[in-house]
Amino acid sequence: MEIKKKDIRALTKEQLRDFFVKEGDKAFRGNQVYEWLWSKGAHTFEDMTNISLETRQMMEDSFVINHIEVDTMQRSSDGTVKNAVKLHDGLIVESVLIPTETRTTACVSSQVGCSLDCKFCATSRLKRMRNLNPDEIYDQVIAIDRESKLYFNRPLSNIVFMGMGEPLMNYNNVIKSIEKITSPEGLGMSPKRIVVSTSGVPKIIKKMADDQVKFNLAVSLHSAIDEVRTQIMPFNETFPLKDLKEALEYWYEKTERKITYEYIVWDGINDRTEDIDALVKFCKYVPCKVNIIEYNPIDDGQFQQASSAAIDNYIQELERNRIVVNVRRSRGKDIDAACGQLANKA
């Protein structure tokens, strides 16, 4: 019978050090192997050239190195790159590289499919199959960092958790991946350059505040009226706006970090004056800014982007109330790489 070997990347540095001590080697060997696995991105034990053949063989007998593979890569006419990423069990997630004049942003997935059911999002049609491990999230970032260097001659500068899945429903693994991304042994990136986007899970937002995380928080709000929000994001029934508000107040009290609200304006859904007034009111609870995002149709015809006049009404009213508002243009639409379009169509 074949014994299933353990993924060596599931071990912490401490556990690796202990492993080598138990094998009669030095703890330091653990550091070397850790460096190969994380900073140098080794895919095989053979790659670890400063480790003796005997030790490499011993590791080979006990472990596997699971890693992702970029299965297909598509490039958009605007420079956006979409990776379909194959996981060790054959499942696929997508991640996106978004270049601008000054930045390269990686948009990464946190789950295979999604546990939520937002009516306007293509990913919600794939049922949640599983959470990604920390290394599977980290590897997406590394793959995009490589592509950024290759195509744009610069390293990755920012990361957004806005790909497939709800990051706060896979909180522990997301946090572990961010620890790797920010640690000097990983990418050494500043947490200020990372945004975790959530549909709003109040309990976890409070936990993040207690954990004193240093990255930024974005909330996909889309409506500040419960009846409307529940219609388009049915999980709002379980996590209504008053709980979200309370969690965000707690977040600000503990972290003093502004929140970003993501907001799409749809024709006949949230384009009335009362929708705008509700958003303005919601924005006064904690310091924030609003990103109005362009709607990317997911071909069911149910949702249509509101007119530019309707969007202008939002902008005017927010600005009149001294709330910072940006309008975000979509990127990578021609390859289904834009927000809400990730659904393994490639």
Contacts to ligand SAH by CB under 6 A? 120-121, 162, 166, 197-199, 220, 262, 264, 293, 295-296, 298, 339-340
Where do the H-state alpha helices sit in 23-170? Answer: 27-38, 53-62, 134-152
Q: Which is nearer to ligand SAH, 66 or 140 (CB)?
A: 140
Which DSSP symbol is given to 336?
T
* Minimum gap (Å) between residue 44 Cβ and ligand SAH: 33
Q: Least distance from C-beta 42 to ligand SAH, angstroms?
A: 31
Residue with smaller CB distance to ligand SAH, 121 or 259: 121
Which member of 107, 114, 121, 339 is catalytic? 339
- Cβ 240 to ligand SAH, closest distance in Å? 16
Paired strand residues for 69: 86
- Whose Cβ is closer to ligand SAH: residue 139's or residue 262's? 262
For ligand SAH, the closer CB: 105 or 199: 199
The runs of H, that is alpha helices, within 123-269 are: 134-152, 171-182, 202-210, 226-232, 241-255
Catalytic residue, from 2, 60, 94, 136: name it: 94
How crowded is the C-beta side of 183, counted as CA atoms within 13 Å?
A: 14
Contacts of 141 by beta carbon, 8 Å cutoff, 6+ apart: 106, 108, 156, 159, 177, 181, 187
How far apart are CB 293 and ligand SAH at their closest, in Å? 5
Q: Which is nearer to ligand SAH, 115 or 157 (CB)?
A: 115
* Mode of pairing for the β-strands spanning 63-64 and 69-75: unpaired
Amino acid letter at 309?
Answer: A
Contact partners, residue 190, CB within 8 Å, separation at least 6: 182
What's the closest the beta carbon of residue 340 comes to ligand SAH, in angstroms?
2
- Based on the residue annotation, tell me whether 2 is a catalytic residue of this protein: no
d(CA 143, CA 85): 9
283 is catalytic: no
The closest residue (CB) to ligand SAH is 340
**Residue 6, beta-bridge partner list:** 63
- Count Cβ atoms below 10 Å from residue 173 Cβ, excluding itself: 19
- What is the C-alpha to C-alpha distance for residues 19 and 58, in angstroms, rounded to an integer? 11
Catalytic residues: 94, 339
